[in-house]
């Protein structure tokens, strides 16, 4: 805002703030008319403000060109009063056209046209704009921050910033944890438990309170609330079944050859302790290399299938808290001996309940040896967000057609459960057949190494 503007047509006197915060004035009477010659400080108009009636002296000399308001008009501070024609301009007046001359102390600020700058730290995301106005800016708040949505469901309460950060670092969604402490405050124990169960990268959901089953209210029924880790697992399984259109294909195999191979390796290299699980791992990896479509995941939001470059092999293991799924990262880079060592190490850690979050996340394919439970087959639930799981049943003596005779061979059932979105039956069958062939004749692996 300025008192003066220089244009080719003249200089304009704007209405100033005449009283420490006044915003307008009414024109009472003009004392000059267009065409009159006025000199500096000559009284040209009388105006009335909320505080007083004031005679205004003109800052310029020259002919009056325009009177901008009629008597009775109410003029806002900063708006034109009259324009004086250009005159022989002195050096100083020339400079005054810079537009910096003061007017209107205490009058309204220039209207803000949107956010004037990004966060000086260079992170303009809405999540960091805590001080900025308008709810509009929180629309794109990332999912990892607790949603500050309305009504009774408030943001999760966490015992301390340290624990909150622990959760965030492990991609634990706070909203999916059921707090175990009084006041519904999520405790460190809750977060650590969730981390140990290998839960990761889940989008936020409503925290559903534990429901008492309707109707079946018998005193001796045993109730276990779905809270904490139990709840997390339940949610994940549910999501897997809900989202993934899975199919299962299975085949019986004669694993005698694999068992023999295992014994031969042991005879030569007992130190490496390469067991069946490691061999099945090696075969699975070879299979995934051959059929990479199965080492993938589906991103529904982005509407795409992502074929993952690295093979991170998940496998089932027992821990004091129940089943856990540790992950051998970059399994494809390992030798079979290294695989065996990794599997063994992770199994021990699981048994001692010492797995770290990193060791329980990032899997791309699961090898599930449920045969240890003494069963043959299963239609397992895929380990979301993976796309496939190879299941191995128990290996027992069974009659088999061997070289034209009926013989007792070491037979097992292999099952492949897969996300039908990532491939068709041909690929899945091809993978399973390949695995079966390698189990029956391990030497075939040589061609795939």
Q: Given the rule CB under 8 A, which residues bind other proteins?
A: 3-4, 13-20, 22, 40-41, 51-59, 90, 92-93, 95-96, 98, 100-106, 116-118, 120, 157, 159-162, 165, 178-185, 187-190, 193, 210, 225, 227-228
Crossing angle of helices 161-169/188-196, nearest 10°?
10
Least distance (Å) between residue 181 CB and other proteins? 5
CA distance 306 to 385: 11
Q: Where are the beta strands (DSSP E) in 215-337?
A: 246-254, 296-299, 304-307, 313-315, 317-319, 322-324, 327-328
Element (H, E) at 340: helix 336-351
Least distance (Å) between residue 441 CB and other proteins? 51
- CB nearer to other proteins: give 23 or 248: 23
Residues 429 and 291 sit within 8 Å (Cβ to Cβ): no
Residues 340 and 278 sit within 8 Å (Cβ to Cβ): yes
Residues 22 and 33 sit within 8 Å (Cβ to Cβ): no
Residues near 230 by beta carbon (within 8 Å), at least 6 away in sequence: 224
Least distance (Å) between residue 213 CB and other proteins? 17
- CB nearer to other proteins: give 69 or 383: 69
- CB nearer to other proteins: give 103 or 141: 103
- CB nearer to other proteins: give 1 or 244: 1
CA distance 102 to 105: 8
- CB nearer to other proteins: give 181 or 399: 181
Catalytic residue among 31, 329, 402, 420: 420
Q: Is 402 a catalytic residue?
A: no
- CB nearer to other proteins: give 178 or 278: 178
For tokens 């069958």, what's the residue?
A: 429
Least distance (Å) between residue 246 CB and other proteins? 33
Q: Max CA-CA distance within the chain?
A: 127
Residues 374 and 412 sit within 8 Å (Cβ to Cβ): no
Residues near 204 by beta carbon (within 8 Å), at least 6 away in sequence: 143, 144, 146, 147, 173, 174, 175, 176
Q: Catalytic amino acids?
A: 420
């Amino acid at each position: 805002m300025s008192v003066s503007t220089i244009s080719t047509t003249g200089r304009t006197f704007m209405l100033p703030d005449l009283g420490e915060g006044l915003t307008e004035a009414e024109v009472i009477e003009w004392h000059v008319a267009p065409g009159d010659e006025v000199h500096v400080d000559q009284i040209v108009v009388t105006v009335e403000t909320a505080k007083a009636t004031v005679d205004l002296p003109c800052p310029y000399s020259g002919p009056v060109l325009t009177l901008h308001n009629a008597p009775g008009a109410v003029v806002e501070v900063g708006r034109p009063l009259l324009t004086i024609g250009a005159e022989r301009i002195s050096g100083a007046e020339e400079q005054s056209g810079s537009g910096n001359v003061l007017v209107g102390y205490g009058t309204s600020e220039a209207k803000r046209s949107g956010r004037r700058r990004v966060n000086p730290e260079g992170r303009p995301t809405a999540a960091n704009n805590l001080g900025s106005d308008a709810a509009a800016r929180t629309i794109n708040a990332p999912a990892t921050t607790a949603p500050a949505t309305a009504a009774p469901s408030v943001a999760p309460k966490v015992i301390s910033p340290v624990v909150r950060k622990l959760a965030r670092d492990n991609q634990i969604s706070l909203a999916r944890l059921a707090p175990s402490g009084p006041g519904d405050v999520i405790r460190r124990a809750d977060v650590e438990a969730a981390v140990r169960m290998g839960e990761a990268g889940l989008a936020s959901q409503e925290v559903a309170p534990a429901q008492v089953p309707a109707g079946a209210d018998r005193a001796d029924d045993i109730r276990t609330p779905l809270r904490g880790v139990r709840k997390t697992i339940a949610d994940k399984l549910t999501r897997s079944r809900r989202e993934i259109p899975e199919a299962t294909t299975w085949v019986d195999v004669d694993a005698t050859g694999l068992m023999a191979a295992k014994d031969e390796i042991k005879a030569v290299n007992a130190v490496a302790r390469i067991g069946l699980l490691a061999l099945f791992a090696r075969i699975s990896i070879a299979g995934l290399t051959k059929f990479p479509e199965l080492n993938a995941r589906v991103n529904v939001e982005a509407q795409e299938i992502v074929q993952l470059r690295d093979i991170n092999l998940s496998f089932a293991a027992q821990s004091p808290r129940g089943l856990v799924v540790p992950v051998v990262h970059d399994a494809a880079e390992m030798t079979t001996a290294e695989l065996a060592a990794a599997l063994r190490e992770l199994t021990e850690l699981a048994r001692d309940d010492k797995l770290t979050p990193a060791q329980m996340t990032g899997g791309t394919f699961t090898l599930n040896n449920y045969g240890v439970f003494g069963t043959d087959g299963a239609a397992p639930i895929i380990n979301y967000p993976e796309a496939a799981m190879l299941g191995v049943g128990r290996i027992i003596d069974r009659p088999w057609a061997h070289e034209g005779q009926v013989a007792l061979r070491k037979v097992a059932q292999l099952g492949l459960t897969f996300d039908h979105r990532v491939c068709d039956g041909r690929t899945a069958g091809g993978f399973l057949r390949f695995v079966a062939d390698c189990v029956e004749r391990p030497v075939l692996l040589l061609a795939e190494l």
